[in-house]
Structure formats: C-alpha cells, structure tokens
Structure 1
Amino acid sequence: LKADFDKLLQDKQATVGVAVVSDGRKTFTYNNQHHFPLMSVYKFHQALAVCDYLQKRHIPLSTSLYLDKRYFKPDTYSPLRDKYPQGNLELPISELLAYTMQLSDNVACDILFDYIGGVNVVDEYIHSLGINDVSITTTEDEMHQDMDDCYKNWTTPMEAANLLELFMTQDSMKNEYTNFLKHIMIECETGKDRLPAPLPESEVKIGHKTGTSDKNERGEYIGINDIGFVILPDGNRYVVAVFVKDSKENMETNTKIISDISAAIYRYARNR
C-alpha cells in the first residue's frame, strides 16, 4: 500500500495521512506522525460522547430538545437552520444526530455540545477510551470566527481509526444508541465522492463521516477528510481514516485523493 500511495501522491501539493485497521488486527499507517485538523469528522467523536451521555442517564434518543433561535447563526453551514429559519422549536436528539452525522450540520453540532456540557466533555470522553493522540477544544462557531481554531481540533490518522475500531468491536459500545449511530453513518449524505466512491454499492456496506474546510489565508484547504467502516461481502471488515491537510489542490483533486486511496485499500482487502 505504501508504494501505491507514494505513487498516487507524488505530485500532490498536500499532506495526506491514512490509517487502516483490518479485521481488528492488521494496521497500516501513512504519515501518522502528523496532527491533522479533524474538521467535521469530530462530529463522530461528539456523537459517541452524546450516546454515552444518554446511555448513562437512561435518556431515550426520542427526547426532544428546545432549539433556541440564538443558535441559528446566519453564516455557517446548516440545513437545520435553512429548514427552520425562525428557530425556537423542539426536535428529538435522534434528529439532531442525523443532522450532524448525515448532513454535517454545524448548528445542530453546537446545540449538542451545549447539551452534554461542552467540547471538553467530548475530549475527556474520547481520552477515557484510551484514544490519546486527539484534541477537541473548539466549537463549530469558534472555528467559524477564527480559522486558526480549526487546527486546535486534531487527530493522528491512527487514533481516528482506533476510535472507529472500538466503535465497531467494543461490547460496551453495543447498545441502541450506537446501533442508531451506525445506521445513520451508513445513510450518510455527504462525501459520496470520497471513501464510498470506488466501492461497489451492491456488495459493500460503508458508514462514514466527512470533514471539509474552507481555505486558509495561504489559499490552502485546511482539511478535507473522510473516516469510516467498510463491511465486505464475506463479512470481513476494515476501518479507514484519510486526512488531506494544507492542500493547494482544488476540491475535486482532494476528494479524488481520498477515493483513490479508498480504492487501493479495498483492492488490498479483497485480495488478501
């Protein structure tokens, strides 16, 4: 795989990090020494913390939260705000999670941060799982106010893959909340041109979460990412995390990097 990736990336003006865990045993990393901005990939980390919060308190996913209009910031990506511009309504937590995980909604994300007690609750929960090379310190709104804050939410590729692996295998993470999360990740609507693009839809099941930045003042995309789990027709599976940071390439090239890497990993997994 390393030779494949070297060739694929030789002329690309970006730093690309990859991690794969196949069948819970074999691991592969590429550029794992770098910290990569999570961007909206951290909505997966948040969703796990929300599931833990609900489970410990026996709060059903159907519980409604009041969405104060003050959350409905005008200049951020939010299908939720576009649908309910007047704000001040109630929606179930399950629907807010679907907005964050399937549509990558920034308003829903910050509402959920507040609900469970802030970004530090997510950071502490993820660290409590033994996932250490990760930092979650700023909200979507804070990242929007100051683009440098995007770099404060970071991970190594391996720790993103390790978290996915825990999610897929750990008994303590097998419950109605995480089952719902798996389901909405499989129904993800963003980034179909990334990890899922080369995978034959009829044979393979993929659940994933994307992250997408704007450009920094140097004209580089801060982070274009996708992480997910892939279940093969024979029941074997792998988890994969791909991060593209500080990229001078255009968006089409960035997403093609991710889909080409996904294709190489899939070929490798099928031919083992």
Structure 2
Amino acid sequence: MINLTRLFFLFAVTLLPCRLWCAGMPSSLAERIDSILSGRRMTVGVSAECGDFSYVMNARVRFPLMSVFKVHVAMKVLADMSASGTSLDTVVHVERAMLRENTYSPLRDARPSGDVDITLAGLMRYSVAESDNNACDILIRMAGGIGQVDRYVRSLGVDGFRLMHDEDAMHRDITRCYDNWSTPEAMTRLMKIVFEGSAPLYAPLRSMMAATVTGADKIRAGVPESLPVAHKTGSSDRIAGIKTGDNDVAVVRMPSGRNCYITVFIKDSAETDAVNAAVIAAVAREIVEEVTARGL
C-alpha cells in the first residue's frame, strides 16, 4: 500500500533547494540544514538532543508556541490529578456553552448538541492527540487558569517560555499568539522532563503524544516509518499572508533505544503551509540521519 503522507513528503522536498538532494551534498549537519532553509522567507529555530549529540539554531529565540502549549497544560492537569488522587476515568460534564464555534474542535464536531459526559482521559486525548482547542480551554480552567500552568512549569526548573492566554483569547486576537512563547531550547528541556523524569506522572501524556493525529507531514514524515515518534504540533492562521507559527516537537525512539528530542519552530513565514511542513520534515530527517550515522 502506498503511504500517501510519505509520498507527499517526497514530493514536497522538491520544493527545497536542489543542492540538498543532489550530488555534492554539504558535509556537516549545519551546512545541510542551512541548505534546507536557503531562500526561505521564515525564521526557524531548532533544538535537538540525543545522548551526547546536540544541535541548535536560534535555540534561544522566542517563538509562538501555538498548540504546542497543550503539552504544558496537560502536565499541570496531570500533576493536579496526582496530588488529589483523581483518576483519569473521572467523568467531566461538558456544557454546550464550553464548545465554542469558529475554532478547531473535533470534540464539538463529534458532539454538536453539547452537554456531554467525557472522562478526563478522553478530554486530554482530544486536547493533545487531536489538538482540540475547546478541550484545551476546559483543561486550563480545571488547572486554575493559564497563569497556574505557567507557574507549574517554571516550578520544574524550566524557563525560556511564557504562557499568558488560552485558546479562546488567541482566537479573538491572533497577535496574542506571540505572548505564548518558548525558545526551542526550553521546549526540548521540557520534553526531556516528560519522557525521562516522573515516569508514572506523565505516562498518559507520553501515550497521547504517541497517538497524535495532526501534522503527519511534519517531523513524522521526515523520520523512517520504523522509528516510533511521539509529538505535538502547532499551527496558526495568517496575518496579511504571514503565518505566525508552524511547529512540531517530537521524541523519536532510535534503534539503540535512545530518545532523540527534536524541536523545530517556524515563525513569521511567508511560505505556504506545505513548504513549512516540508522544511520541518527535512530538518528532522537530517537530524535523525546524523544521529544514526554517529551510532547513537
């Protein structure tokens, strides 16, 4: 059977500079990634770690998180649940008024009449794996507000980010997306906490990220199908044709059993969504190939 996502990726990379794919490929990872980005009207930030390997580019620059911040939200909710002894099977009642129109919401689309009962696990799955904006805002309210989410993540020793708005506030004013930001370096650090520390606490989040259905044309498309990928994507609308943010943060399990952490953020892109995704996929591909070549 033909994998349409991978076929699309192979087509999309033809949009990238030919010298990356032709004879005379640049020798270093930095040079290869520079070739991917050559001529692209966007700002890109990258942070990658695998064992003693690391690669950074604009890693301390602020990028709009977009829906990647749903990872932060899920971490706070899981911490609260652990502290209170609340089960993921706990049922939450979602009123129709909580399911706002004119925003991305598979939950609302599946339950258009509203007034539904759903488990916390189900609500979190909608937010993380399907990037549901309404589910995210319900979880933010349960967490005590976006300020509490920000404070919790800082308590883990992570800085280089800020959370100020929920999805509804950003939907009402897209410029607020810039207020919810992170550096690529900080995002990679946070992912290492999720996947390497407090194993029982964040286990549900790891599973949900592994089940992500959005952004199959981003990091997932650039990584061999044989390698498991857990990731969270983010994507914005456009202001005068400029895309505020297009992101993917992933954990790739290498054949050695090591976790390869890859954060690729794009902001202020004048390129198409297809080109943005192809850039993210190509950067991830180069990183994974470099890690593989080093035997990590």
Shift of 1:28: 2.0
User: Structure 2 CA distance, aligned partners of 1:159 and 1:33?
Assistant: 8
Q: Does 1:266 align with 2:288?
A: yes
Which of 118, 122, 136 is residue 163 of structure 2 equivalent to? Answer: 136
Q: Does 1:235 align with 2:262?
A: no
Show the counterpart of 1:19: 47
Which residue identity does 1:15 align to in structure 2? T
| Structure 2 stretches lacking a partner, 5+ long | 1-28
Indicate the larger mover: 37-46 or 26-35. Answer: 26-35
User: Structure 2 CA distance, aligned partners of 1:158 and 1:249?
Assistant: 24
- Aligned partners of 1:21 and 1:162 also within 8 Å: no
* DSSP 3-state at the match of 1:189: coil
User: Structure 1 CA distance, aligned partners of 2:167 and 2:222?
Assistant: 30
Which residue identity does 2:217 align to in structure 1? D
* DSSP 3-state at the match of 1:242: strand
Shift of 1:63: 0.6
Which of 199, 206, 222 is residue 174 of structure 1 equivalent to? Answer: 199
Give TM-score scaled by structure 1 length: 0.95
> What do the CA deviations read for 1:121-140 (whole angstroms, capped 9, x no partner)?
11001111111110011000
Instruction: Trace 1:1-272 onto structure 2 (pairs within 5 A).
Output: 1-23=29-51, 25-170=52-197, 173-175=198-200, 177-202=201-226, 204-216=227-239, 218-272=240-294
User: Structure 2 CA distance, aligned partners of 1:89 and 1:252?
Assistant: 36
Which residue identity does 1:192 align to in structure 2? A
Which residue identity does 1:39 align to in structure 2? M
Which residue identity does 2:143 align to in structure 1? I
Show the counterpart of 2:23: none
Moved beyond 6 Å, runs of 4+: none
Over the residues paired in the alignment, what is the CA RMSD in angstroms?
1.0
> What do the CA deviations read for 1:196-215 (whole angstroms, capped 9, x no partner)?
1022222x111000001000
User: Structure 2 CA distance, aligned partners of 1:46 and 1:57?
Assistant: 17
- Aligned partners of 2:127 and 2:135 also within 8 Å: yes
Which residue identity does 2:86 align to in structure 1? I
Give TM-score scaled by structure 2 length: 0.88
User: Structure 2 CA distance, aligned partners of 1:44 and 1:33?
Assistant: 19
Taking every aligned residue pair, what percent have the same amino acid on both sides?
34
- Aligned partners of 1:21 and 1:165 also within 8 Å: no
User: Structure 1 CA distance, aligned partners of 2:247 and 2:222?
Assistant: 16
* DSSP 3-state at the match of 1:197: helix
User: Structure 1 CA distance, aligned partners of 2:179 and 2:113?
Assistant: 32
User: Structure 2 CA distance, aligned partners of 1:125 and 1:33?
Assistant: 21
- Aligned partners of 2:223 and 2:281 also within 8 Å: no
User: Structure 1 CA distance, aligned partners of 2:53 and 2:190?
Assistant: 15
Equivalent residues, number: 266
Shift of 1:33: 3.3
> What do the CA deviations read for 1:220-241 (whole angstroms, capped 9, x no partner)?
1000000011101221221111
Which residue identity does 1:118 align to in structure 2? G
User: Structure 2 CA distance, aligned partners of 1:104 and 1:41?
Assistant: 9
User: Structure 2 CA distance, aligned partners of 1:113 and 1:220?
Assistant: 28
- Aligned partners of 2:248 and 2:265 also within 8 Å: yes
* DSSP 3-state at the match of 2:220: coil
